[in-house]
Amino acid sequence: MPGCGQIVVAALPSDYWGEVIVAATEHAAAGWRAEAQTRAERLSKHKRPRAYLELPALPRNAQGKISRREVRAAILEHFRLVDETQPKLETLD
């Protein structure tokens, strides 16, 4: 996506839904969330991310590929999933 680093989609564990899909990026320009949400509207509703987050850097493995497992861990270090019918993420203090 122009004006944005790479975006990765990861699933957070949820007791209510099983998994909650979130999108995370690094080096994002202003307005990236609106553009990402517009593009995600083409997907089936159950495939759309519930949250769009910025991380300082996306974790990569030795080959330079983004590690979804480590992205999920990085998200859960900074956010808590509020698990309900409309799931959301709260920042940890």
Domain boundaries, the chain: 7-91
The CATH code belonging to domain 7-91 is 3.30.300.30
The pLDDT value recorded for residue 75 is 92
Model confidence at 43, pLDDT cuts 50, 70, 90, reads very high
**pLDDT score at 2:** 63
Which amino acid belongs to residue 66?
I
Q: What angle do CA 17, 18, 24 make, to 5 degrees?
A: 90
Question: Which span out of 1-5, 47-51, 81-85, 86-90 was modeled with the highest average pLDDT?
Answer: 47-51
Give CA–CA dist 3/34, Å, rounded: 12
Phi and psi for 59 in degrees, rounded to 5? -65, 135
Please report, rounded to a whole number, the percentage of residues in the chain having pLDDT higher than 70.
95
